[in-house]
Every structure is written in C-alpha cells, then in structure tokens.
Amino acid sequence: MTAPAQETFPPPPELARSAAEAGEHAERAAADRLGFWGDRARELLTWETGFEEVLDWSAAPFARWYTGGRLNACVNAVDRHVAAGLGDRVAFHWVGEPGDTRTITYSQLHEQVQRAAGALEALGVQPGDRVAIYLPMVSEAIVAMLACARVGAPHSVVFSGFSAEALRTRIEDAGARVVITADGAFRRGAAAPLKPAVDAALAAGAPSVEHVLVVRRTEGEVAWTEGRDVWWHDALEAAPATHEAQAFDAEHPLFILYTSGTTGKPKGILHTTGGYLTQAAHTHRTVFDLHPETDVYWCGADVGWVTGHTYIVYGPLLNAATSVVYEGTPNTPHEGRWWEIVQQYGVSILYTAPTTVRTFMKWGEQVPARYDLSSLRLLGSVGEPINPEAWRWYRRNIGGDRTPVVDTWWQTETGGIMISPLPGVTTLKPGSAQTPLPGISAEVVDDEGAVLAADGAETTGYLVLTEPWPGMLRGIWGDEQRYRDTYWSRFPGRYFAGDGARRDADGDIWLLGRVDDVMNVSGHRISTTEVESALVSHPAVAEAAVVGAADETTGQGIVAFVILRGGAGEGGGAGDVADLPQALRQHVATQISPIAKPRSVLVVDELPKTRSGKIMRRLLRDVAEDRAVGDVTTLADATVMGRISAGLRAAPGED
Ligand code: PRX
C-alpha cells in the first residue's frame, strides 16, 4: 500500500534568529557533543564556581554533569534577573479560576522566594531535606518550589488531584519533613477542600513530617493541628525580607517527581541541578523560539507534572520570560476561557497536550473563532502522540493557519524536551516529533537492539537514547536496582524509553505510544498494575485486569475487567452487583486519583491467561476496543475469550 503524500509545513521566514541559532547548535553538537553542552551551561546559567568536566559517565548509568560546578537554581531563576535590571518585568500573569488575577514581577517573585526560603529554614529545613508540595495551581506553588531550591531542599510535588492515600505513599517514600498545601482549591467553579487529604495522609502514616505549611486560597474551614500546622502567610510575614542563597553542587538533588511504572509502586524520579537547568533553559528557548523581551508564553500544564516543572517554572524563569498561569479548568465558566485569556494577555506561545486540543475540537471551532488569537505565533504539543487531525485543527483554529506546531517528545525521566521540530528550520509533518534536538542521540531499534537505519525505508521498533544528556534522571529515589532494570537492562548501554517508534523514509521519528503496561490517559501516565491493585483492594473484587483502550478525547481510556469474590453482590456485604462498577470506579478515585478512574468496569467470570498465568491484556484490549479478538493460541484455555465476549453481550455490566 502506498501512503498518501505527506502534507508538510515549511518554517516561517520570520523565525530567522531561531534558524541561525539552531544551525550553529547542530554544527557545534555534531562536532563536539559535550563541548556543546558545556557551552550551553555557561551561556544560559550563572555559576558561582565553574565546572571542571562536562560529563563524568564513569559510574554509568549514573551520570554526573558539570562536575565541580556550583550554583543556586533559584538565584538563576530569579535573583540574577533582578540584578540585571529586569525586576519590573512580569514573571507571571496569574489568572484564578473565579476571575481574580495576580501580576507578579521578577522583583515581587524575588521578595516572595526570599521570605519563603526563610520560612522553610525557620521550620528546620536543611539542605538535602525533602519537602512535599501538594498545591493547586496557585502562584504559591511556584514560590514554594523555588524556595525549596533556594535552600537546597529537594521538592517532591504531588499533583493535587491525587488522593490522600497516594499522597501518603509519596511522602513516605521520600521521607518528607515538611508538606506545603492549601486550605482548598477552586476547580470547575467551586471551592474544594484540599487540606483534609493531607490530614488523612498524615493520620495514616508519614511519620517523617514535622510541619504542614498551609496556603490560604478558598478560605474554607480547616482542621488545625497545633504545633504542626502553620499558615503560609504567617510564616512568610515572620521571615526576614532578604535571604542569602548559598550555591550547591551541580549534582545536588533539585527534585523528586513520582511517575507510574509497570509495577504498583510509583517511581520517584530524581533530578539534580546543573544538568536539568541547562536542558530546561536551552530547550525552552530553542524549541519555542523564545524572545523573552516580547513573548507572552503559556503552558497549560499543572505543576504536579514534569511539564509544569520544566516549562512553567524552571525553563521560563531561567530565560526571564513572561508567562501566563491559569488556575482552573478550560470550560469554567465557559468554553472560551482559554481564548479569552490568550486575547487578554496577548499570549504568543501556547504549549498544551493533545487531549486538551481534542477537547477543544469537540466543543467546536466556533468557540475560539469568537476571540482575537492573532498574538499567537507558535504552538506546542506534549504528553502523547498527537493525531494529525488534532494537529491540523490546532494549527488552523488556534494558530490561524500561520503558526508552527511543535510536537515535543520527552518524559519525566528525560527532564526536558528530547525530540522535537525546531520551528525555525524544520519543515513540519503533522503527527511527528521528527528529530532529536542537537546534542541528543536517539535511535529506533528492533527487538535485539539493532539500529533500524534510516536508509529510505520505513521501520518500526523501540525508541532508545544512545548517549547521556544533561537533564537525564539520576536514578529512582531509594531504588538503584529498579533504575538499572527499568531503563538500562532491556538494551544494555542504552536508555530504553518504553515507547514504540516509527522512522519514516526521511528519517523522521513518529512516536507510537507505550510498549509496556503503562497507559496514557489525557497525557498522564498510569500503570495498569496500580489500578489493578486498587481494584483488588476492594472487598468485592477477587481479581482484576486493566487495559488502556483507544479513546477519542483522552488518547486512552481505562477499561477494567473484574472477577468478583464469591458472595459479592449476593447479599455478601459488598452491596448490589448492579452498583458495583460505579462503586469500583469511585474506589479507584479514592485509592489513586480521579484521573485513574476506569472509563468502564466489566464484570467477568474469567480472565484470559497464558499457561504461566500471565494475563493477556492484548486480548482484553480487543474486547475493550470492540474488535475481533486476536490470536488465542497461547491461552491456557482457548475458549475463555468466547465466554467473556458472550457474557458481556448478555449483560454489558458497563457503567
Ligand atoms: O509515551 C510517551 C508520552 O508520554 C510519556 C512520558 O510521560 P510523562 O513522563 O508523564 O511525561 C509527559 C510530559 C513530557 C512518554 O514515554 N509522550 C510524551 N510526549 C509525547 C509522547 N508520546 C508521543 N508524542 C509526544 N510528543
């Protein structure tokens, strides 16, 4: 079959600066990769002590970048811009969901991070101590992260949509000394309490926590534990107005961020300072063609995810950019909220996820058409493969048929963007992340690890990264072996990303989604095992199997197959079987987060297993996606799929 002619979009000529820079970078990186990264670290960051060596890979797969260098992340993000005379530049136009706004200049941010750093130290936080941050998208979340960085305390931001139970396990794993939270959050037009989740998490465990700093946002009633709980505003007011920041080693831990793996236990991805910041600043400038003097940049992510860390907080601030941050949901109070904000602040660069674009598509092009979006000049996409239709819709309806759309591939583990078009030079192909950035080495390999050469033929395999990069994770918190096993054992000497990839005849890379038991729901990584463990922790469930089924809006939707315990639903105490799917969905929301709620829960009598007992999720996916069931020859009982399908037809059990 011959593929239809590929539609392409050449780079706009006005991106000349980016084009020139990209050309220099490509040349420099090709000639001397480490020299290039050394130059970038010096050009983009201010070091108190210069580094001696760009990369020490002698303890591979544990990298040390910029050895001997010393710097302070917060000073680089804030203080030095104020010292350079940029104090009056707006760092953030913050927009609250109820309509309140805050304009925060670099000077004001400077004042806040100094006070917050002093407040943390007053609570006994020392360099190396972990601080958990469980906050909605209020500006204090950014200040809290920077204050942690300033005092050398690695932050562990836990997405505020996670449950008390998920929060507890993350606090315990990191051994956090302080938790920073809020009384509540505004979401979907209403105030929802947040602190009770922290109280519940700490009541259930997490003995390492000494203090809880509480930001006042919704002004709802909160329970208070004297001696432990401290109001954020009181602590900042009591702190000195200035704080002298000390420099830390380039390899000093900057943050831990938990992400789902293939087991039930989330992985604490560890990032350190010099390398991460270099890649954050570099990619934010080059991939988005950033002109900090004139651009208004908006990344629609949440600080609870890595995109928020790198492209709301560190990247933009290191580059002295002006950003918009929006607290709420895109359809509160109406479906044009984002476009109203773009129009109001003259947003020029917008970075979001394909699932959000598809949601906008569903609401219709008449919504953005009501607003003046002519300030936009560049659009970005991240988190999952963007289907070409969504890419084209985004460019046409949001980008006015003029803006480049950069599809950026990266991961929590990579710290920053790895594969992406460069808007000044790349001729874009809708749906493809295209090429590794200068200084980044990626290949597509087959099962045996042989490189599938880009020799004019199309090939499909696994994505690997073949050389260390500055923003790479430095390990999994507290689990060296898991780090080696997960990323470095499948193809020894190379980093296995867990993604399938296709290389087209031009050598461009198309990401194909996860090849492991990790689902991607609305751009969020959720492990099948984690949801299965949550389901079997319900008294009515004996066994569960979970698959990610294709979903028009969210990329994948979670479909759960459950076998009930004997007696469940028959007056056995577990409630009515008809209500069970709903109860189980709720149970998963409580155990993990509403984002992990299965789209459907199907009650079955059996699950398809191989003779060795491994659940064949591929077959369940066929059922979940309403397809003819594939090859069943390796099943222990070849008739089981027929019985599952027949049972579901008789009693859909879908909720
Ligand atoms: O499967 C890939 C997908 O998201 C995974 C990383 O998820 P997370 O660590 O949560 O980080 C998301 C934000 C960087 C990857 O393994 N992914 C991310 N970006 C893309 C993507 N898949 C295809 N195209 C992308 N642009």
Quick check: 267 and 482 in contact, CB under 8 A? yes
Pocket lining: 525 vs ligand 1, CB cutoff 6 Å: yes
Q: Does pLDDT of 17 surpass 90? A: no
Specify the residue for token string 């789902």: 260
Amino acid at 503: R
**pLDDT higher for 572 or 611?**
611
Give dist(CA 275, CA 485) in Å, integer. 23
Best residue among 355, 511, 524, 526 to mutate for probing ligand 1's pocket (most ligand atoms within 8 Å of CB) is: 511
The fold adopted by the segment(s) 522-649 is GMP Synthetase; Chain A, domain 3 (3.30.300)
Pocket lining: 368 vs ligand 1, CB cutoff 6 Å: no
Residue 4 confidence (pLDDT): 65
For residue 441, count CB atoms less than 10 angstroms from its CB and return exposed for 0-12, middle for 13-18, buried for 19 or more: middle
Pocket lining: 520 vs ligand 1, CB cutoff 6 Å: yes
Tell me how far the alpha carbon of residue 514 lies from the centroid of ligand 1, in angstroms. Answer: 9
Pocket lining: 551 vs ligand 1, CB cutoff 6 Å: no
Residue 650 confidence (pLDDT): 62
Using pLDDT thresholds of 50, 70 and 90, give the confidence band for residue 649. low
For residue 503, the cross-strand partners are 459, 509
Mean pLDDT on 560-572: 75
Q: Does pLDDT of 264 surpass 50? A: yes
Closest-CA residue to 315 (of 35, 36, 72, 73): 73
Residue 439 confidence (pLDDT): 98
Best residue among 310, 465, 490, 499 to mutate for probing ligand 1's pocket (most ligand atoms within 8 Å of CB) is: 499
Mean pLDDT on 480-507: 96
Tell me how far the alpha carbon of residue 206 lies from the centroid of ligand 1, in angstroms. Answer: 30
The residue whose CA is least distant from atom 15 of ligand 1 is 411
Delimiting residues of CATH 3.30.300.30 domain(s) in the chain: 522-649
Tell me how far the alpha carbon of residue 444 lies from the centroid of ligand 1, in angstroms. Answer: 16
Give dist(CA 638, CA 175) in Å, integer. 48
Residues in the chain: 655
Pocket lining: 497 vs ligand 1, CB cutoff 6 Å: yes
3-state secondary structure of 22: helix
271-285, 553-567, 622-636 — most confident range: 271-285
Q: Out of 349-353, 357-361, 444-448, 613-617, pick the least confident.
A: 613-617
Tell me how far the alpha carbon of residue 310 lies from the centroid of ligand 1, in angstroms. Answer: 14
Q: Does pLDDT of 261 surpass 50? A: yes
Residue 352 confidence (pLDDT): 97
DSSP for residue 314: I
Give the mean pLDDT of the chain. 93
Residue 574 confidence (pLDDT): 47
| Tokens found for residue 67 | 């050895």
Q: Does pLDDT of 88 surpass 70? A: yes
Tell me how far the alpha carbon of residue 295 lies from the centroid of ligand 1, in angstroms. Answer: 26
Specify the residue for token string 């050398």: 152
Of 3.40.50.20, 3.30.70.560, 3.40.50.12780, 3.30.1330.60, which CATH number belongs to 13-329+408-502?
Answer: 3.40.50.12780
Best residue among 382, 502, 510 to mutate for probing ligand 1's pocket (most ligand atoms within 8 Å of CB) is: 382
Pocket lining: 434 vs ligand 1, CB cutoff 6 Å: no
Atom nearest to 525 CA in ligand 1: 10
Pocket lining: 311 vs ligand 1, CB cutoff 6 Å: no
Residue 16 confidence (pLDDT): 84
Mean pLDDT on 149-176: 97
Pocket lining: 273 vs ligand 1, CB cutoff 6 Å: no
Best residue among 270, 464, 520 to mutate for probing ligand 1's pocket (most ligand atoms within 8 Å of CB) is: 520
Q: Does pLDDT of 653 surpass 50? A: no
Tell me how far the alpha carbon of residue 600 lies from the centroid of ligand 1, in angstroms. Answer: 24
Quick check: 305 and 521 in contact, CB under 8 A? no
Pocket lining: 406 vs ligand 1, CB cutoff 6 Å: no
Using pLDDT thresholds of 50, 70 and 90, give the confidence band for residue 648. confident
Pocket lining: 407 vs ligand 1, CB cutoff 6 Å: yes
Which run of H or E residues covers position 443?
Answer: strand 442-445
Give dist(CA 288, CA 2) in Å, integer. 34
Give dist(CA 382, CA 420) in Å, integer. 10
Give dist(CA 457, CA 572) in Å, integer. 60
C-alpha 128: how far from its chain's center?
A: 24
Residue 300 confidence (pLDDT): 97
Pocket lining: 408 vs ligand 1, CB cutoff 6 Å: yes
Using pLDDT thresholds of 50, 70 and 90, give the confidence band for residue 31. very high
Best residue among 356, 391, 525, 526 to mutate for probing ligand 1's pocket (most ligand atoms within 8 Å of CB) is: 525
Give dist(CA 235, CA 214) in Å, integer. 10
Pocket lining: 495 vs ligand 1, CB cutoff 6 Å: no
Quick check: 417 and 408 in contact, CB under 8 A? yes
Quick check: 196 and 212 in contact, CB under 8 A? no
Mean pLDDT on 242-251: 98
Q: Does pLDDT of 154 surpass 90? A: yes
Give dist(CA 617, CA 432) in Å, integer. 27
The residue whose CA is least distant from atom 12 of ligand 1 is 383
Give dist(CA 354, CA 350) in Å, integer. 12
Sign of CA dihedral 430, 460, 260, 641: positive
Residue 652 confidence (pLDDT): 47
Residue 71 confidence (pLDDT): 99
Delimiting residues of CATH 3.40.50.12780 domain(s) in the chain: 13-329+408-502
Quick check: 66 and 277 in contact, CB under 8 A? no
Q: Out of 67-76, 248-257, 515-524, 550-559, pick the least confident.
A: 515-524
In degrees and rounded to multiples of 5, residue 535 shows phi and psi of -65, -45
Residue 573 confidence (pLDDT): 46
**pLDDT higher for 523 or 95?**
95
Q: Does pLDDT of 572 surpass 60? A: no
User: What whole-number percentage of the chain has pLDDT above 90?
Assistant: 83
Mean pLDDT on 20-39: 96
Residue 58 confidence (pLDDT): 98
Q: Does pLDDT of 571 surpass 50? A: no
Best residue among 260, 279, 386, 409 to mutate for probing ligand 1's pocket (most ligand atoms within 8 Å of CB) is: 409
Q: How many CA atoms lie within 13 A of 308 on its CB side?
A: 27
Residue range 91-125, pLDDT digits in tens? 999 999 999 999 999 999 999 999 999 999 999 99
Mean pLDDT on 420-437: 97
Tell me how far the alpha carbon of residue 383 lies from the centroid of ligand 1, in angstroms. Answer: 4
Residue 348 confidence (pLDDT): 98
Atom nearest to 417 CA in ligand 1: 14
The residue whose CA is least distant from atom 7 of ligand 1 is 411
